[in-house]
A and B are shown apart, each in its own frame.
Chain A
Amino acid sequence: MPPGLNPYQKAKVHVTQKRSQLQRFFHGAGDLVSFAGRYFREVVRPPYEWREIFYQCYLVGYKSIFLIGLTAFIMGVVLTIQTRPSMADFGAISLIPGMISVSVVREIGPVITALICCGKIGSRMGAELGSMKVTEQIDAMEVSAINPFRYLVVTRTLATTLMIPLLAIFADAIALYGGFVAMNIHDTTSLRHFFVAALGHLGFIDVVPSIIKTFFFGFVIGLIGCYKGWHARRGTESVGVAANSAVVASSLAVFIIDMLAAQITDLLL
């Protein structure tokens, strides 16, 4: 803020700055909606770049499986260990598998998977496309008469939309196994008994909405990662900015979708 301003002028400058920030936010939001619109127009129009789609599915799915599995296992263990004392106070140890399964399947599994993917996949896509933009590789594709949006954005967003639900289901299973391992630290229970008790508490409303929301998580992670990279400005600094803002924006979007999904599921109950 320039020096020597009276309080009224300072307030005016402050309001002007806030207004321009707000304008930038809405401009960005409008741009993202238009980017999503282009995605939907392109995704329904064959031919598809199957080779690139499968390669991106491999990168998103297979390359993330160890990290997701390890995190989910730890999550299952920690959740069980921290829940056990309270449940023991109420004499409800036998309800732990059911409680763990509902928590994991409805909320923790999908959200943790999505957040890990925001960091790992969203940032990769932001940085990769940002770098391609800065080094004119996207322009090179365009002038070679190859539609870069179809080849880069559609394939990546489709891959995250399809793979993140699978990763979330895998994370759910591993987290439950983690819960089983943690249960056996203090108590003795068989794998079969634990899973029968855990799955017995799961109903349609626990499983189906949580799987549906993971498609949306996957979609926003891919779309926002690509959007941030696609709109990187010239210069190497913008690659870092694109990767960073892809993680922040997609994580925020995951929480917003989760909140909406919880509200909608609640209405259905």
Chain B
Amino acid sequence: MTQQINDIAEQKRIAGNEQQEPVITIRGLKKSFKDHNVLQSVALEVHKGENLVILGKSGSGKSVLIKCLVGLEWPDEGEISVLGQDISTLRYDELNALRVRVGFLFQNAALYDSMTVRENLSFPLRMHKKTMTQEKKDAVIMEMLDNVGLVDAIDQMPSRLSGGQSKRIGLARTLILRPEIMLYDEPTTGLDTGTSREISELMVRTKKKYNISSITITHDMPCAKLTADRIIMMKEGVVVAEGSYEELEKSEDEWIRSFFH
């Protein structure tokens, strides 16, 4: 299994070398809540087709960072450009048009618990693809459920799903609008080792199939190893290290090494 993970990681890095064009650019991002400075002049770029993994301890500002990318939080200072658009200058309808192109997988999947799996998946289509026929919508839903291997769960309520199944359905719901960028907020947290690996492999397959750029926030090192083209490490709202998994693994810095060993 370790060999398989290393092979996928190697393929990913080869593909990573071909990536150039930035789809996300962040410059001088600052965010604070009352007296607590959560983000302190963060700068990063994500290139087309790349998966950037952000590592850091709890409270280091990772989740706030990706929430700033979709307007769930607003920065105090700095520039955020997503798919060539400066989000601070967008009107609400323009921001929503951008949000359709950016998928966000929440830590607990955030499935609508009053709806079945089918309704969870059809909801974004109903709201955004008003001209799409019902047959086409059904076909897209089945394709997405097939992608995540949960076609049988179509009529289940979210409360009947396991943690891993919820994450997969959450991913299917996010992918149904065919986003160009995916933001994963701790996609494997709370899952057992086997299920975490399945989710990580699903993320890699999804990226490959739909050519999606992504940012992944995780504490799960096997997930980082499997999915990351590049890793940045955050400490107290500051980016302290950047590199590939292998480069950071060999770091002499004790704090960085604490993640890998």
Contact = CB atoms under 8 A, between A and B. Distances in A.
Contacts of B96: 145, 147
B177 A144 contact: yes
Contacts of B107: 136
Contacts of B221: none
B106 interface: yes
Contact of A145 (B100, B106, B114): B100
B1 interface: no
Contacts, number: 47
Nearest to A138: B110
Contacts of B124: 144, 146
Given A143-B72, A143-B102, A145-B99, A135 B108 contact: yes
B72 A146 contact: no
Contact of B110 (A128, A137, A147): A137
Contacts of A131: 113
A74 to B, nearest CB: 32
Contacts of B108: 135-136
Contacts of B113: 131, 135, 137
Contacts of B99: 142-145
A139 B100 contact: no
A144 B122 CA distance: 12
A132 to B, nearest CB: 8
A140 interface: yes
B127 A135 contact: no
B58 to A, nearest CB: 14
B112 A137 contact: yes
B212 interface: no
A interface SS class: helix
Contacts of A132: 112
A145 B101 CA distance: 9
B100 A136 contact: no
B110 to A, nearest CB: 4
Contact of A142 (B72, B111, B123, B177): B72
A143 B177 CA distance: 12
A143 B112 contact: no
**Residue from A131, A144, A146 with most neighbouring chain B CB atoms (10 Å):** A144
B110 A140 contact: yes
B110 A135 contact: yes
B171 interface: no
A147 B127 CA distance: 10
B248 interface: no
Contacts of B177: 144
B191 interface: no
A144 B127 contact: yes
Contacts of B100: 144-145
Interface string A101-140: 0000000000000000000000000001001100111011
A147 B124 CA distance: 11
A140 B97 contact: no
Contacts of B112: 132, 137, 140
Contact of B72 (A128, A139, A147): A139
Contact of A136 (B71, B102, B106, B127): B106
B245 interface: no
A265 B96 CA distance: 46
Given A135-B113, A137-B113, A139-B72, A145 B128 contact: yes
Given A139-B106, A143-B72, 7 more contacts: A132-B112, A136-B106, A136-B108, A137-B110, A139-B110, A142-B72, A143-B99
Interface of B: 70-72, 96-97, 99-100, 102, 104, 106-108, 110-114, 123-124, 127-128, 174, 177
5 contacts: A128-B114, A137-B110, A137-B113, A140-B112, A145-B99
